[in-house]
A and B are shown apart, each in its own frame.
Chain A
């Protein structure tokens, strides 16, 4: 096995062109190898020391460019992301354990392509794009184009995800990501939902996007949602999510239970996103602030 520790993007892209696979935090790659999912690749290039992958920058249009090597811990504690792209902070705050969040990266979560990834649904509702670079140049793809199946992306073998581009946040908009979990750390989403909501001047929902985690082969967006009162849109999101989900039965849940719970998560995500859009501050992660999470630490 060979391991190249790259310090520049060009070095990393050259290694990929020569057949190496990238490793950042290793939280999926190494754990997967240990569990016999896939052996470690024979040639690895470490990208965790490439400074240009670890920056968070405002774009000219008011959006955000998050380097693929930015850790979940940085995302969950970043004031700008927490205030303007809250759903992503909600998601990163739920990943694994504090140790996982310090080494695990956004790019790794996105490119691992798990249908249960926490950051995926938020990126979909933001209309984010992944920037893929290779020695030959770079391109931007939307998330729906990127993910093609469980653990599979449309990126070529020599392409590296270098950044995630988030469009500017609209006025009176808010977002939230929730998941069903059986314990409060070292957990994986049983199902999850993200919502981004933009309110009209009179407080109704003007536009809404909802995306779902762990109910299909990839993260999927709910279709057919339109504006209306928050209660109506939340109810519609619940019904549409349950209707459009194509869940499987596995160790974590039956398809029937997943279908029910994805509706609950979608409704709660819309409700929380609408509260944030209206200017209310709900602590990150919102999972700890609604439903059973509200009980956290409360004993009276």
Chain B
């Protein structure tokens, strides 16, 4: 284990990200801005029904239309079933469609209008199948199967499956039943969360062009290497014949993780022998992707001693998987961890099911499973505090984990800052002060793992002394890639502005997992530091020769290499780069060993997908002040105070932006954002007017404090992740504020004005 002391002596620099001016002035190019000579427009034929058997599919009329250059169905691509956890998906529907956004056929034509007319001319006839939408009914014995052939699908070995349960997971520690029987106070709660959307500002786009047997695909993905792997798997191509390039990405929030439409468009382009471009409408962005935040039913029971000490916790979770498993295989275990929570719970028994339905598939949206499970757990926690007569903050201080404590899955934490987060967020919020009528401050805590995975980068310095970082990392708006310049600059004694970033191109840079799992800075930062370190070593050797000193005595700072203690003996890095250009070039490559998982003691996990042990765990506390209009149930967030332990903060400006964006997303999830379905499992509010994101006019003042402590097994300089953690606890804190005003929690998420009003009326009727 390595422990990195934070650089608290030096204030974190605040720098404007390199891609900022492009994006703000409009000069930046996104995928939909690109064109190629002869480019065709692509359109998809969707199922538009939630569950049916295809009895007739006839594309002949579409093919015959002037201007139509290719039409593809399942018959035109390799017969490959794919999926990272369960191989339950095909590029095109084969015999059965399982959600409304499933693709049956794809068309490429000279204009988008012709392509749409061709799509409309495709004849599809269906035999209806029973539509499964209810999570508990789907798990019941004898329920109609979403996948008749589930048992025959390939799957990752650790995934535990049974009929409509695509991934079962449990966390068991101690003897929860026995401990519960001895508890002084037991509280049980049920909470139900609707699904919701990532809703990036840029609907996705893909442009593909073949040259010989190689294809280049420009696409709005968060995970270029994952997209490449998907194309290679489904079109049966080797990796070195597929190049994925991502222009500026207009947001993702997890919605653009995974492999989506790159293979469809590449296949269309190959068939048409011309470049093909797909640009989604906003409606398609809502309906089609296998990435939306999963709905959940959550039952939780906690037993306490009369002094409020937790002795046991049991839980049951049903997660809406939708029609295909996509990357949701690990959701059951992650949801179970978030329902256990960052508490000292000696006896735990939590079971979670990932349930097939005929809804749009779920997938990783910013901190998958966490906002909903945290909302349930933390609302329940305020119920616990009330039941034993403790203040909710005091209750959390008593039971929350701390350095050296054992968490619910049997992990003993090294240096962590959760208790400090609780203190800072509540103090900054003015928790405990007298408030006007119908106002309250709600508090919630959350956690999130850092993801330790392989990653690579190159650093080079050219003959004029300017540097380039060539990285596999993907920027999806978090600013993490932008931070890499700071890390390289510090290793080499140069300025961040001395480096240009070359990124988002799978044929140029080494592998990186992409903008997912808050992992970019944690892993690619390590790679860049290692790569820059190699160049630094080269520079020290060159400088040592030049200055007639030992390499060990060379210090790189302020753009110069100098001999320690002899400031006059100095040479500019630019001059050394010029020397290197005539000899051994300045090139570094880095990857580094990702830290391994911490040990778990005393717990058993069925369906263990590696989520029960948190590497370099991040912690947070949000305290939210809410005002309620009792007459209408409309709630308004007045102010938010957050504290985050995400390790060392490398760029404070970027870090604050991450927290503020996460909080605003959390307010939306809490109050206004939720997918509503009709009785056939089709989305009713797949449009920006009816799916209510928060706007700038709704944003409250947000105060953020970073708890920076020495962090074991962290990323570069002690940094942990930060992209997802701010999205975990906001909805929960709002829930607790509302419950404090109303007298009982609102048990449905989002806690819309009407649901709040209904809860108020129930309370009035009691």
Contacts and interface: CB of A to CB of B under 8 A. Distances in A.
Pair from one complex? yes
Interface of A: 35, 97, 180-188, 251-254, 257, 260-261, 264, 291-292, 295-296, 298-299
B187 interface: no
B690 A251 contact: yes
Contacts of A299: 625, 638-639, 701
Contacts of A183: 672, 692, 694-695, 697-698
A184 B752 contact: no
Contact of B757 (A252, A260, A292): A260
B627 A295 contact: yes
Given A251-B684, A299-B625, A299-B639, A182 B634 contact: yes
B698 A180 contact: no
A252 B631 contact: no
B697 A292 contact: no
A182 B627 CA distance: 14
A183 B617 CA distance: 34
B690 A292 contact: no
13 contacts: A97-B695, A180-B634, A180-B753, A182-B634, A182-B672, A182-B692, A183-B695, A184-B697, A185-B697, A186-B688, A251-B690, A295-B638, A299-B701
B676 interface: yes
A259 to B, nearest CB: 12
Given A298-B638, A299-B625, 8 more contacts: A183-B698, A184-B698, A185-B695, A264-B632, A291-B631, A292-B627, A296-B636, A299-B701
B695 A292 contact: no
B636 A295 contact: yes
A257 B757 contact: yes
B172 to A, nearest CB: 42
B110 interface: no
Chain B, interface size: which category? 20 to 34
Nearest to A186: B695
B516 to A, nearest CB: 29
A186 B692 CA distance: 9
B696 interface: yes
Contacts of A261: 631-632
A50 to B, nearest CB: 30
State the main secondary structure of chain B at its contact with A: mixed
Contacts of A97: 695
B136 interface: no
Contacts of A295: 439, 627, 636, 638
B670 to A, nearest CB: 12
Nearest to A295: B627
Contacts of B639: 299
Contacts of A260: 757
Contacts of A252: 690
A237 B439 CA distance: 28
A181 B752 CA distance: 11
Interface of B: 283, 439, 625, 627-629, 631-632, 634-636, 638-639, 671-672, 676, 684-685, 687-690, 692, 694-698, 701, 752-754, 757
Contacts of B283: 35
B433 to A, nearest CB: 9
Given A188-B689, A292-B629, A295-B627, A182 B753 contact: yes
A167 B254 CA distance: 55
A40 B439 CA distance: 48
Nearest to B281: A34
A254 B687 CA distance: 19
A295 B626 CA distance: 9
B360 to A, nearest CB: 17
B687 A291 contact: no
Contact of B632 (A251, A291, A298): A291
B735 to A, nearest CB: 17
Contacts of B688: 186
A251 B468 CA distance: 51
A268 B583 CA distance: 81
Contacts of B638: 295, 298-299
The interface centre, meaning the residue of A35, A183, A252 with most chain B CB atoms within 10 A of its CB, is: A183
Given A183-B697, A257-B754, A264 B631 contact: yes
Nearest to B684: A251
A292 B632 contact: yes
A187 B439 CA distance: 24
The interface centre, meaning the residue of A187, A188, A251, A296 with most chain B CB atoms within 10 A of its CB, is: A251
B698 A185 contact: yes
A181 B697 CA distance: 13
A223 B205 CA distance: 54
A186 B672 CA distance: 13
Nearest to A253: B754
A184 B635 CA distance: 12
Contact of A251 (B635, B676, B697): B676
B704 to A, nearest CB: 16
A254 B636 contact: no
A188 B629 CA distance: 19
Contacts of B631: 261, 264, 291
B731 to A, nearest CB: 16
B692 A185 contact: no
A173 to B, nearest CB: 26
Closest 8 A-B residue pairs measured CB to CB?
A292-B629, A184-B697, A185-B697, A295-B627, A185-B695, A264-B631, A257-B754, A292-B634
A182 B696 CA distance: 14
A97 B696 CA distance: 11
Nearest to A268: B631
Nearest to A252: B690
B687 A35 contact: yes
A69 B248 CA distance: 39
B757 A182 contact: no
A179 to B, nearest CB: 11
A260 B633 CA distance: 11
A136 to B, nearest CB: 38
A206 B672 CA distance: 41
B632 A180 contact: yes
B453 to A, nearest CB: 38
B692 to A, nearest CB: 6
Nearest to B627: A295
The interface centre, meaning the residue of A35, A181, A264, A295 with most chain B CB atoms within 10 A of its CB, is: A295
Contacts of A253: 754
B762 to A, nearest CB: 14
B608 to A, nearest CB: 41
Contacts of B672: 182-183
B210 to A, nearest CB: 33
B490 to A, nearest CB: 38
A5 B283 CA distance: 32
A182 B676 CA distance: 16
Given A35-B687, A295-B627, A299-B639, A185 B696 contact: yes
Nearest to B676: A251
A5 B689 CA distance: 30
A185 B692 CA distance: 10
A218 B48 CA distance: 32
Nearest to B639: A299
Nearest to B690: A251
B701 A292 contact: no
The interface centre, meaning the residue of A180, A253, A257, A292 with most chain B CB atoms within 10 A of its CB, is: A292
Contacts of A181: 634
A184 B685 contact: no
Contacts of A185: 695-698
Contact of A184 (B689, B695, B757): B695
A298 to B, nearest CB: 7
Contacts of A182: 634, 671-672, 692, 752-753
Contacts of A35: 283, 687
A296 to B, nearest CB: 8
A213 B253 CA distance: 36
A239 to B, nearest CB: 14
B642 to A, nearest CB: 15
A102 B684 CA distance: 30
A187 B695 CA distance: 10
A299 B439 CA distance: 10
